[in-house]
Chains A and B, each alone.
Chain A
Amino acid sequence: MTMSDTTDQLIARLSADAGPVHRLRHPLMRAAAWLGCVAIGSGGIIAAFADTSAFIGRAHDVRQMVELTATLATGLLAVVAAFEMSLPDRSRAWALLPLPALATWLATTGLGCLQGWIAGTPTDLAESTECFLILLGTSIPLGLVLSWMLLHAKPLAPASVAAMGGLGVAGIAAFLLQFFHPFDVTVIDLAIHAVAIGLVIAVSALSSRKLAAA
């Protein structure tokens, strides 16, 4: 089959338009750069304002330790997966990377919630609302920077990449929240956390097309 005139003309135009481009760094390096910035920024805020002794106290309980580790792992692995998925030649199986950690996070949080319900732990709605605001307040700036970095790769499926990035941001925000809200979650807490995390993922996915086109 010969090349059609239009394809031929398109190649000529694209070639004429092809200036030098800056190659993207390896996705792991890009993920490490973003996570490093988050670690430095949040480390400073935690050192200045957080109740670290309460956090350390929580970490002595095995279930809570597993929950904290799974929360952080979900955030880290989802961010790595998002950077990998942003490249056109990477397998979609990267989307499975954070799932075991996510399942552990949900299971341990659910277990803590059940234990609290059996023990009759009271729900403080004002405190839950504060958690919701902290989760969103942390996720929005982190999510904006992450979206900018992810969409710089011009992913072929921006919505799924942004959703994975949203999960990563939500996981990290939920981990950071533990420094400021070192209490076991109640059913209301759990629902509010789920709404906040779902909101971050949904907004990331919905806004990705507009950001990708910008």
Chain B
Amino acid sequence: MLTLRGRPNGRPYLFVRVVSGMVTQGDNTNRENWSRLMQAAQDGDRAAYEQLLRAAVPFIRTVVARQHRRDRIEDVVQDVLLTVHRVRHTYDPARPFDAWLATIARRRSIDAIRRRGRIAAVETADDVAYETFADPGANKDTELTVQASGLGAAIAALPEGQREAIELLKVRDLSLREASQVSGKSIAALKVNVHRAIKTLRARLKGSRGDDE
């Protein structure tokens, strides 16, 4: 299969993908260049690291796209970038960088699928939670669950810092350390923001229930 990809300088180059294989073989010069950039990054060259990550994003996206819907790809790509950052000391410059990267991308992709499966296993859909009791007055909590469809709107209305903390830690299920790297905020600040966000959401949802009554 032939694919056009973007180079760091913006010009496309030709990739030849091995059918059903995870390792994509591009031109050798580019691959060796990635290895050199990673070696320089391990030695502390930040510019080389940034260039490498930017060049690698389309490659990571291709690997992730095989297992994820379009709207979820970017989250998994970011997860892969965080993992690459965390384990960059394990890369051996004597080995091909693209194989190292493809394996990480594939594994994190699978982890994301499992994580979604775990979340789906413990969440209950709204439509099964309509009428729990014959007495309509007894269904107040159920009504609150139904109103949870407005949770997205309530999260969107949160102050920026609180919304970001909730999205990273509760919606995307990142660890505190990962969320800190994505947002650039300290772990303590994220803890405070997520605590405040939950408090705000609780107050707003209770308030909207009170309005309905």
Q: Which A residues contact B (CB, under 8 angstroms)?
A: 1, 3-4, 6-7, 9-24, 26, 87-89, 153-154, 156-157, 213
- Asked whether B181 lies within 8 Å of A13 as measured between CB atoms, the reply is yes
Q: Which residues of A contact B74 (CB under 8 A)?
A: 4, 6-7
Are B107's CB and A12's CB within 8 A?
no
A89 CA to B97 CA, complexed, in Å: 10
Residue contacts A-B, CB under 8 angstroms, 27 given = A1-B58, A6-B74, A7-B57, A10-B181, A11-B57, A11-B81, A15-B50, A15-B53, A17-B85, A17-B181, A18-B41, A18-B85, A18-B88, A21-B89, A22-B89, A24-B90, A88-B87, A88-B90, A88-B100, A89-B100, A89-B103, A154-B90, A156-B83, A156-B104, A156-B108, A157-B107, A213-B177
Please give the residue numbers on chain B whose beta carbons come within 8 Å of chain A beta carbons, in ascending order: 41-44, 46-47, 49-50, 53-54, 57-58, 61, 74, 77-78, 81-83, 85-93, 95, 99-100, 103-104, 107-108, 111, 175, 177, 181-182, 184
A-B contact number at CB 8 A:
93
7 nearest A-B pairs in the assembled complex, by CB-CB distance: A20-B44, A15-B50, A21-B89, A89-B100, A89-B103, A11-B53, A18-B49
Q: Tell me the bound Cα distance from A10 to B81 in angstroms.
A: 8
Contact A3/B41 with A14-B49, A21-B88 known, Cβ cut-off 8 Å: no
Q: CA of A88 to CA of B107 in the docked complex: distance in angstroms?
A: 9
Main SS at interface, chain A: loop
Per the bound structure, the CA–CA distance linking A29 and B164 in Å amounts to 44
Judged by DSSP, the binding face of B is helix
CB-CB < 8 A to B87: which residues of A? 88, 153-154, 156
Q: B64 to chain A: closest CB distance in Å? A: 12
How many angstroms from the CA of A23 to the CA of B44 in the assembled complex? 12
Q: How far does the alpha carbon of A129 sit from the alpha carbon of B182 in the complex, in Å?
A: 52
For A3, give its contact among B43, B54, B89, B111 (CB under 8 Å).
B54
What B residues does A11 contact at CB under 8 A? 50, 53-54, 57, 81
Contacts of B184 on A, CB cut-off 8 Å?
9, 13
The answer to whether B46 touches A3, judged by C-beta atoms less than 8 angstroms apart, is: no
Partner of B42, one of A10, A21, A153, A157: A21
**Least distance between B207 CB and chain A CB atoms (Å):** 31
> In the bound complex, what is the Cα–Cα distance between A125 and B120 (angstroms)?
49
Given contacts A18-B46, A89-B95, A89-B103, contact A23 B181 (CB under 8 A): no
Residues of A within 8 A of B99 (CB): 89
Q: Judging by beta carbons under 8 Å apart, are B57 and A88 in contact?
A: no
Using known A-B contacts A14-B81, A20-B42, A23-B89, determine if residue A3 contacts B53 with beta carbons closer than 8 Å. Answer: no
Look across to chain B and name the residue whose beta carbon is closest to the beta carbon of A9: B184
CB proximity of A29 to chain B, nearest CB, Å: 11
For the complex with contacts A7-B78, A23-B91, A23-B93, 14 further pairs of A-B residues with Cβ separation under 8 Å are A10-B182, A14-B81, A15-B49, A18-B41, A18-B85, A18-B88, A19-B44, A88-B100, A88-B104, A89-B90, A89-B95, A89-B100, A154-B86, A156-B107
